């Protein structure tokens, strides 16, 4: 994600507000528009379009939700409803590095909670938040399907397994 | 392109030659295929399962190939296959002929394996899997205890074929079942075999697959759909992921067979977003099947058309529920529908729809080729066939196991799973995830099938099996699952949305030492009410973890509310600080205690007044000799 990605108007704790930067995201918006043109008549297109938007912008800016609403002729309330239902969609920008800490059963009984606590302690943010420098955000995920390696966390697409609390700092440092 | 059965057999014959060595694994050491046809001298098989893949299977393969090149070895084939099952000791590799089983192989070990094993036929003993050595003898992988009691149907190709190769799938009888169904059988005959086999859904509910298919077949409509439920929501289960990643074509073939049987030309695979690797491999598999004409129009020259699309989930557990999943594919909030209509009559977009779980589907092709009798010869009368379990938690061999139905919990956990590590004691096994229950030691000899697990207050579920030892608090486990359900409840019906929340609050109170004996009664009545009045399976089963732990471990609940004590020593806020006889009497703890509740003379053992203690943990931090413990 580039610096022009969005303008941060006000930040403070978890109540970050972001204004969408149309100029800096011109290409991405165009990409989304052509994706919409291609898929709009497909049945159940809304999920696919939101997933594409989430991939493109890293979150679902309200401005983009409005745009989709207009284009597909679906009420904004319905779009907002879908966007807030699924945990993969985010209404605030995610950090450059997304940390997914597994809180599935296998990881929980092997101390996944302690791993999460350590990460929260180091970064000063909690689940579903982004650090003020937008380097990191934390997602709680329910089972990454690597239970054999429990406890597990995933940073971007990289899986780290058989973790101990002492490993956390060093792993995070790789992404700083 | 149009494919014929002759072409399929040609591919099979040709590809088998390059795979013969590996098939030793499938046949437990007996190579039934003519050795003359073998084209390679040695096979290196690297596990590419969810666990091993993330520990670097791709790099291992690269390194092997580089080193093999350097040594100028010819006729060595290196492949990455699907999950071997034994994730605990990964990354795993096997070498054929012989089935030598190496574990925890690191990049730097590769050169040694190539130099010794591949060049000079010497086994690298230090890397052998622990279970592969018995009294100085080296056992091949198929005789290792972990594998010996297993019987593989759904996972039949996982760990043997290269998941990217459609030819290797075809070599092991892949797409033969589809060919047979399309060219030799009527729709009724396919449904008849499925009904006779009594294959029951592996997604949780155990509904007979053949009966479901028949319902959709008999219902007239202009369009019908087949859905593969790959949402795998049970946290702690990963068999569906392993099948999708290790043997994607088995699912595609089965969906096409189902499509033929019910009269549908369109399938969807709904995969959870947490499985990007599975999505990638499925995409590749669909593309290859289309290129070969095994999906698409006029398959095997018949009138039958079938296409498959992938739809991604977006992180909502409730979307594993059939009707919620359909809502999600339709692009809406994934909330379950009231069950007025059967989905086999009115499902996706109001059309007849068959939804089956990944593992259920993986069972279908062999049933069509081998017949209903064959499946019935495995497992129990009530639950024929096998079931895959994901062993996790406090168990030595974490991983995937597939056993005939009716195998006892004890066999799975102790004979295959290797028991509890670190000298701890078995306490309970949790099956069925958030909808299931905790089974105590006295029921370890229960055979695993749909009915038996139900009788003891749990469910088969999708096959997650989490083993708990004596340091796990059962109240906390119940709290963990309720926390999960509260998080994942879709909010449509009140009992589930509000009721589970109240249960969680009570459980949180108890684990914090603030519970009262009346709380236990409240939990019980809430459990009943939520079970009876919720809209979908999520709410109806949400209290199972509480019910089963209260039934079998009531003494733990009582200890929490009456004595404010956690017998397992797990609930932090119920623990007492205690100074052991290691204490050297340095007075540091007493000087730093903010509550001034530590007494003792210089150079004598100190004592904490637990009544006054505020459990801040300062004493523990400052003690230079580690004499302060929590218990
Ligand atoms: C809350 C809830 C979650 C479910 N999650 C899954 C799941 O992740 N995977 C699955 O195959 N079935 C899941 N099911 C079961 C499905 O509703 C359905 O019974 C199943 O997909 C049918 O396929 P089968 O007959 O092959 O088992 C879930 C059910 C409920 C109530
Ligand atoms: S429970 Fe953490 S990866 Fe499965």
Cα Dmax for chain A: 52
Both B427 and B518 in a single domain? no
pLDDT in tens, B367-412: 999 999 999 999 999 999 999 999 999 999 999 999 999 999 999 9
Radius of gyration of chain A measured on its C-alpha atoms? 18
Best probe of the A interface among B314, B319, B321, by most A CBs < 10 A, is B314
| pLDDT surpassing 70 at residue B28 | no
pLDDT reported for residue B302: 95
Both B269 and B324 in a single domain? yes
pLDDT in tens, A63-93: 999 999 999 999 999 999 999 999 889 888 8
Residue B164 belongs to a domain: no
Q: Cβ(B238)–Cβ(B400) under 8 Å? A: yes
Tell me the CA–centroid distance for residue A104 and ligand 2, in Å: 5
Both B317 and B434 in a single domain? no
| Boundary of a domain, candidates B469, B484, B512 | B469
pTM: 0.90
Q: How far apart are CA B2 and CA B448, in angstroms?
A: 44
Task: Indicate yes or no: CB of A148 within 8 angstroms of CB of B490.
Answer: no
Instruction: Give the CATH number for residue B620.
Output: 3.30.70.20
Residue B616 belongs to a domain: yes
Q: How far apart are CA B243 and CA B262, in angstroms?
A: 24
Which residues are CB-contacts of A107 (< 8 A; sequence separation ≥ 6)? Answer: A143, A147, A150, A151, A152, B235
Both B187 and B215 in a single domain? yes
Closest residue on chain A to B469 (Cα):
A109
| pLDDT surpassing 70 at residue A11 | no
pLDDT reported for residue A123: 93
Average the pLDDT over B187-194 and give the result.
96
**Owning domain of residue B438:** 386-469
Q: How confident is the model at residue B54 (pLDDT cuts 50, 70, 90)?
A: confident
Task: Indicate yes or no: CB of B393 within 8 angstroms of CB of A89.
Answer: no
**Tokens of residue B266, six digits:** 């369109």
Identify which of B198, B203, B324, B436 to mutate to test ligand 1's pocket (most ligand atoms within 8 A of the CB).
Answer: B203
User: If DSSP codes are grouped into helix, strand and coil, which group holds residue B387?
Assistant: strand
**Tokens of residue B24, six digits:** 């030793």
pLDDT in tens, B264-316: 999 999 999 888 889 999 999 999 999 999 999 999 999 999 999 999 998 88
Instruction: Give the CATH number for residue B415.
Output: 3.10.20.600
pLDDT reported for residue B472: 93
Both B458 and B581 in a single domain? no
Both B223 and B303 in a single domain? yes
Give pairs for B61-70: CB < 8 Å, separation 24+: B63/B107, B63/B110, B63/B111, B64/B110, B64/B113, B64/B114, B67/B110, B67/B111, B67/B114, B68/B114, B68/B118
Atom of ligand 2 nearest to the CA of A146: 3
Q: How confident is the model at residue B515 (pLDDT cuts 50, 70, 90)?
A: very high
Instruction: Give the CATH number for residue B537.
Output: 1.20.1440.230
Nearest Cα neighbor of B200 from B381, B390, B465, B435 is B381
Domains and CATH numbers, chain A: 2-85 (no CATH), 97-173 (3.40.30.10)
Both B73 and B213 in a single domain? no
| pLDDT surpassing 70 at residue A3 | no
* Strand residue runs (E) in B231-282: 266-271
What secondary structure, in 3-state letters, does A76-134 show? HHHHHHHHHHCCCCCCCCCCCEEEEEECCHHHHHCCHHHHHHHHHHHHCCCCCCECCCC
> How many C-beta atoms lie closer than 10 Å to residue B452's C-beta?
20
| Boundary of a domain, candidates B349, B375, B401 | B375
**Has the ipTM of the complex gone over 0.90?**
no
**Tokens of residue A3, six digits:** 């610096």
Q: How confident is the model at residue B578 (pLDDT cuts 50, 70, 90)?
A: confident
| Boundary of a domain, candidates B123, B144, B165 | B144
Classify residue A127 as exposed, middle or buried by CB count within 10 Å of its CB (0-12, 13-18, 19+).
middle
Instruction: Give the CATH number for residue B71.
Output: 3.40.30.10
Radius of gyration of chain B measured on its C-alpha atoms? 27
Residue B157 belongs to a domain: no
Of A109, A144, A158, the CB nearest to B466: A109
Identify which of B236, B240, B317 to mutate to test ligand 2's pocket (most ligand atoms within 8 A of the CB).
Answer: B236
Both B434 and B510 in a single domain? no
pLDDT reported for residue A29: 94
pLDDT reported for residue B35: 56
Nearest Cα neighbor of B433 from B544, B329, B529, B557 is B544
A108 interaction partners in chain B (CB closer than 8 Å):
480
Q: Cβ(B470)–Cβ(B427) under 8 Å? A: yes
Residue B289 belongs to a domain: yes
| pLDDT surpassing 60 at residue B29 | no
Nearest Cα neighbor of A140 from A116, A174, A171, A169 is A116
pLDDT in tens, A100-143: 999 999 999 999 999 999 999 999 999 888 898 889 999 878 88
**Tokens of residue B336, six digits:** 């379950």
Both B178 and B299 in a single domain? yes
Q: How far apart are CA B234 and CA B434, in angstroms?
A: 7
pLDDT reported for residue A1: 30
Q: How far apart are CA B230 and CA A145, in angstroms?
A: 12
A41 interaction partners in chain B (CB closer than 8 Å):
none
**Tokens of residue B547, six digits:** 């019910």
Residue B15 belongs to a domain: yes
Both B391 and B435 in a single domain? yes
Residue B4 belongs to a domain: no
Average the pLDDT over B236-256 and give the result.
94
pLDDT reported for residue B261: 97
Domain count, chain B: 5
Tell me the CA–centroid distance for residue B229 and ligand 1, in Å: 7
Average the pLDDT over B257-262 and give the result.
97
Percentage of residues in chain A with pLDDT exceeding 70? 90
Residue nearest to atom 1 of ligand 2 (CA): A104
- H-assigned helices in B97-165: 110-113, 120, 145-148
Q: How confident is the model at residue B37 (pLDDT cuts 50, 70, 90)?
A: low
Tell me the CA–centroid distance for residue A101 and ligand 2, in Å: 9
Residue B165 belongs to a domain: no
Judged by average pLDDT, the poorest of B18-32, B406-420, B474-488 is: B18-32
Residue B357, ligand 1, Cβ within 6 A: yes
Both B434 and B313 in a single domain? no
Both B332 and B199 in a single domain? yes
């Amino acid at each position: 994600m580039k610096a022009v990605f969005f303008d941060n108007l006000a930040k403070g704790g978890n109540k970050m507000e972001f204004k969408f930067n149309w100029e800096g995201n011109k290409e991405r918006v165009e990409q989304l528009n052509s994706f919409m043109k291609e898929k709009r008549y497909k049945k159940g297109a809304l999920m696919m379009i939101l997933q594409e938007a989430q991939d493109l912008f890293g979150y679902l800016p309200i401005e983009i939700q409005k745009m989709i609403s207009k284009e597909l002729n679906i009420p904004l309330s319905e779009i907002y409803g879908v966007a807030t239902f699924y945990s993969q969609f985010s209404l605030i920008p995610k950090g450059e590095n997304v940390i997914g800490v597994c809180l599935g059963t296998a990881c929980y009984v092997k101390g996944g909670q302690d791993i999460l606590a350590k990460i929260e302690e180091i970064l000063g943010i909690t689940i579903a938040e982004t650090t003020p420098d937008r380097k990191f955000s934390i997602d709680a995920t329910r089972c990454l399907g690597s239970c054999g390696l429990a406890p597990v966390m995933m940073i971007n697409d990289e899986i780290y397994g058989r973790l101990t609390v002492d490993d956390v700092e060093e792993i995070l440092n790789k992404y700083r | 392109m149009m494919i014929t059965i002759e072409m399929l057999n040609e591919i099979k014959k040709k590809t088998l030659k390059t795979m013969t060595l590996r098939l030793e694994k499938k046949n437990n050491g007996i190579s039934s295929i003519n050795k003359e046809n073998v084209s390679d001298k040695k096979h290196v098989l690297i596990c590419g399962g969810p666990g091993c893949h993330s520990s670097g299977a791709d790099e291992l393969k690269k390194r092997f190939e580089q080193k093999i090149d350097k040594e100028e070895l010819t006729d060595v084939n290196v492949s990455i296959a699907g999950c071997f099952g034994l994730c605990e000791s990964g990354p795993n590799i096997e070498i054929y002929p012989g089935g030598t089983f190496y574990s925890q192989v690191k990049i730097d070990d590769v050169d040694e394996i190539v130099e010794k094993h591949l060049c000079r036929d010497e086994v690298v003993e230090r890397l052998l899997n622990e279970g592969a050595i018995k009294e100085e003898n080296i056992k091949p992988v198929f005789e290792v205890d972990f594998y010996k009691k297993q019987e593989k149907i759904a996972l039949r190709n996982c760990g043997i074929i290269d998941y990217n190769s459609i030819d290797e799938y075809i070599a092991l009888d892949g797409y033969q079942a589809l060919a047979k169904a399309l060219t030799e059988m009527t729709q009724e005959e396919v449904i008849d075999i499925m009904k006779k086999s009594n294959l029951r859904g592996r997604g949780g509910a155990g509904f007979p697959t053949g009966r479901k298919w028949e319902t959709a077949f008999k219902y007239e409509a202009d369009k019908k759909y087949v859905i593969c439920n790959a949402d795998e929501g049970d946290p702690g289960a990963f068999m569906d992921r392993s099948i999708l990643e290790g043997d994607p074509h088995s699912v595609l073939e089965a969906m096409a067979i189902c499509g033929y049987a019910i009269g549908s030309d369109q399938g969807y695979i709904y995969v959870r977003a947490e499985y990007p690797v599975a999505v990638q491999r499925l995409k590749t598999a669909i593309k290859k099947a289309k290129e070969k004409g095994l999906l698409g129009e006029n398959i095997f020259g018949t009138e039958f058309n079938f296409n498959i699309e992938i739809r991604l989930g977006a992180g909502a557990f409730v979307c594993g529920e059939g009707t919620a999943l359909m809502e999600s594919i339709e692009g809406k909030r994934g909330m379950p529908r009231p069950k007025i209509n059967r989905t086999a009559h009115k499902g996706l977009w109001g059309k007849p729809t068959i939804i089956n779980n990944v593992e259920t589907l993986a069972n279908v092709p062999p049933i069509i080729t081998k017949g209903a009798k064959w499946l019935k010869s495995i497992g129990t009368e009530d639950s024929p066939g096998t079931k895959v379990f994901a062993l996790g938690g406090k168990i030595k061999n974490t991983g995937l196991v597939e056993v005939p139905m009716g195998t006892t919990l004890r066999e799975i956990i102790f004979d295959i799973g290797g028991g509890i590590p670190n000298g701890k004691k078995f306490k309970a096994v949790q099956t069925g995830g958030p909808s299931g229950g905790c089974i105590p030691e006295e029921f370890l000899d229960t055979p695993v099938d749909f009915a038996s697990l139900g009788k003891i207050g749990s469910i088969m579920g999708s096959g997650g099996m989490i083993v708990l030892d004596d340091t796990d608090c059962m109240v906390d486990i119940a709290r963990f699952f309720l926390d999960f359900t509260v998080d994942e409840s879709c909010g449509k019906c009140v009992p589930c949305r509000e009721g589970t929340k109240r249960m969680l609050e009570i459980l949180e109170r108890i684990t914090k030492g603030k519970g009262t004996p009346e709380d236990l009664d409240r939990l019980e009545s809430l459990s009943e009410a939520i079970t009876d009045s919720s809209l979908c399976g999520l709410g109806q089963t949400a209290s199972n973890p509480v019910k089963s732990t209260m039934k079998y471990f009531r003494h733990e609940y009582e200890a929490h509310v009456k004595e404010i004590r956690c017998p397992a020593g797990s609930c932090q806020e119920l623990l007492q600080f205690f100074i052991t006889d290691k204490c050297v009497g340095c007075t540091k703890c007493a000087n730093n205690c903010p509550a001034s509740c530590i007494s003792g003379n210089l150079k004598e053992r100190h004592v904490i007044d637990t009544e006054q203690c505020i459990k801040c943990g300062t004493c523990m931090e400052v003690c230079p000799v580690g004499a302060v413990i929590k218990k």
